[in-house]
Amino acid sequence: MKRDLYRKLVAWKDDPYRKPLVLKGARQVGKTWLLREFGRREFDNCIILNCDKDERVRELFDHGFRTERILSDIQILSGQTVVPGRTLIFIDEIGDAPKALASLKYFCEDAPEYHIAVAGSLLGLAIHQGVSFPVGKVDEMTLYPMSFAEFIREKQGEELYRRLTESDLTDLSSLSLLLTESLREYYFTGGMPEVVQGSLDGRDAIDLRNMQKRILADYMLDISKHADTRILGRIHQVWNSIPQQLAKSNKKFVYGDIQKGARAKDFELAIEWLIDAGIVYRVPRVRKAGIPLKYYEDFSAFKLFTVDHGLMGAQTDAPISEILLRKNVFEEYRGTFTEQYVFEQLRCCTDTGIYYFDSENSKLELDFLIQRDNVLVPIEVKAEENLRAKSLRQFYSNHEDSRPVRLSMSDYRRESWMTNVPLYAACRVPALKD
C-alpha cells in the first residue's frame, strides 16, 4: 500500500535540520508498516526495536542517556552496524519505555547525524501520565486511517488518484459514477489498512465487518488495560454515545444525552482520555468567525468524531446491504456517516485546525469552518443532492470576503458566491483556488 505521509517521511530524511521523528496515530492505522517500509526502501539497513515485546530494549535506556553507549548497545542487540545517514533506527511502541522517549532529547542535541524514528499508539496517554516528552527536540507527524484518495489509489490505480487529487475539478464529472460507487464502498470499509487490504484481496463483506469488530475489540482492550478504573465506565459511555450524538440535527456534544442530568465535570476526563488515545477527535465551536479562528475558540462547545467511519459502522451494526447496495445510502446515513467522512478528509489535508460555527443570536449553523491563509472557508455538508444552503448564504452575506463551500453529491461548479464540491472530492476543499 502507498500512504501519502510517505512523501513527508522522505522529506524528513533529507532535511539537514531534522530531529528524531515521533510518528503518532491510533492503533492499527499502519504506523509500524509504514516505518518498516520507509526503512527498507530509503536506507541501507533498518534496525527495528520493539519496547512492548522485548524487555532488553526497554533496559537499554535504564542506564543513563549517553548516546554513544546507547548506540553501541543497539548494535550489539540487533547485530547490525549503525551508519550515520544510511541506517534508520526505528523504535516501536515507545510509549512502553518512557526513558526511551526521554532519550530523544539527547539524540537531538548530541547525535543529530543519526536517523531515529519512533512510533506509539498511546503516546498522548503516556505524555499526560507524567512521561517526560522532549518538547522542541523532536519532529512530529500523525498517521490517520487511509483517506478516500488513498483508497482510490489502491482500488482504482494511480491515474484516478492523480485525477482526484490534482486535476481540474471540472474534469471529474465524467468519472462521477465510478467515484460515487467507490465512495459507497469506502463508506463501508472505512480507512483502516487491514480492512482495505481485505477488500483488495477479495474478502467478502462479512469478513470485512468481522475485521472491523476485532479492531474495535482491541480498542476496548486498550481502554480496559490503560484507563483509570475510576473513569473506565464513563469512557465506555462517551465512546458508545458518539454515533447517536452525530445522528442529531444539532451535532453539538451534549452531556445530558449520555446520562440524564450529567454535567461536563462528570465526563471531561473520559473525553480527554479518548482524545489522548487517538480514537476520538474534538472539533470545537468558534464564538466568532474571525482570523485567526483559534483565537475565538469556545472551549465549552464541541463535536466529537471517531477515528474511522468504517469502524463506526461496525460499532452501530449498520446494515451492510444498506451501505453497499442502496442508492440513497448517502441520504439514509446523512446524520452520521457523511459528516464523519468529511471530517476525516479535512483532518488528513489541513494543518490549520477544524472548527464549527453557530450563532447564538440566530439559527445560522455551519458544519465546519476552516482557515486558508487569511481567508475563512465555511463548509456545509449535504448528504444528497438537496442543494439548499441557507446557513451558508447567510454566513456569506455577513462575511463577503469568505469562500463558502458546499459539499454534496452534485457535480463541481462555481457560483458567484459559493463553490459546490462533490463529496468524493472533499480532500480538495482546503486547497481550492479562488
pLDDT at 351: 81
Residue 226's pLDDT band, with cuts at 50, 70 and 90, is confident
Considering only 17-21, 132-136, 421-425, which range has the smallest mean pLDDT? 132-136
What's the whole-number mean pLDDT along residues 160-175? 95
Query: Residue 335 pLDDT more than 60?
Result: no
Task: Quickly count: other Cβ atoms within 10 Å of residue 348's Cβ.
Answer: 22
pLDDT at 103: 94
CB 284 within 8 A of CB 298: yes
Q: What does pLDDT average to over the chain?
A: 91
CA–CA dist 284, 296 (Å, integer): 10
pLDDT at 129: 55
What's the whole-number mean pLDDT along residues 174-200? 96
Express each pLDDT in 368-392 by its tens digit: 999 998 999 999 998 766 667 788 9
What pTM did the predictor assign? 0.93
What's the whole-number mean pLDDT along residues 13-38? 96
pLDDT at 315: 95
Domains of the chain: 5-142 (3.40.50.300), 148-431 (no CATH)
pLDDT at 323: 76
Exposed/middle/buried for 70, CB within 10 Å: 0-12, 13-18, 19+?
buried
Which phi and psi (to 5°) does residue 46 adopt? Answer: -130, 120
pLDDT at 337: 85
pLDDT over 70, % of the chain = 94
Which phi and psi (to 5°) does residue 260 adopt? Answer: -55, 130
Picking from 217, 187, 202, the residue whose alpha carbon sits closest to that of residue 318 is 187
CA–CA dist 401, 383 (Å, integer): 26
What's the whole-number mean pLDDT along residues 182-195? 96
More confidently predicted of 122 and 243: 243
More confidently predicted of 125 and 45: 45
More confidently predicted of 101 and 334: 101
CA–CA dist 246, 280 (Å, integer): 13
DSSP state of 106: H
CA gyration radius, the chain: 23
What's the whole-number mean pLDDT along residues 268-280? 94
What's the whole-number mean pLDDT along residues 338-353? 92
Task: Quickly count: other Cβ atoms within 10 Å of residue 304's Cβ.
Answer: 20
Contacts of 270 (CB under 8 A, 6+ apart): 231, 234, 235, 237, 238
pLDDT at 152: 98
Query: Residue 128 pLDDT more than 60?
Result: no
pLDDT at 332: 52
b/e for 80-103, b at 16 or more Cβ within 10 A? bebeeeebbbbbbbbbbbbbbbbb
Helix or strand (DSSP H, E) at 11: helix 5-14
What's the whole-number mean pLDDT along residues 12-37? 96
In the structure grid, which three cell numbers stand for residue 405, read together?
463551500
pLDDT at 273: 94
Express each pLDDT in 75-121 by its tens digit: 999 999 999 999 999 999 998 888 999 999 999 999 999 999 999 88
Picking from 155, 54, 167, 64, the residue whose alpha carbon sits closest to that of residue 110 is 64
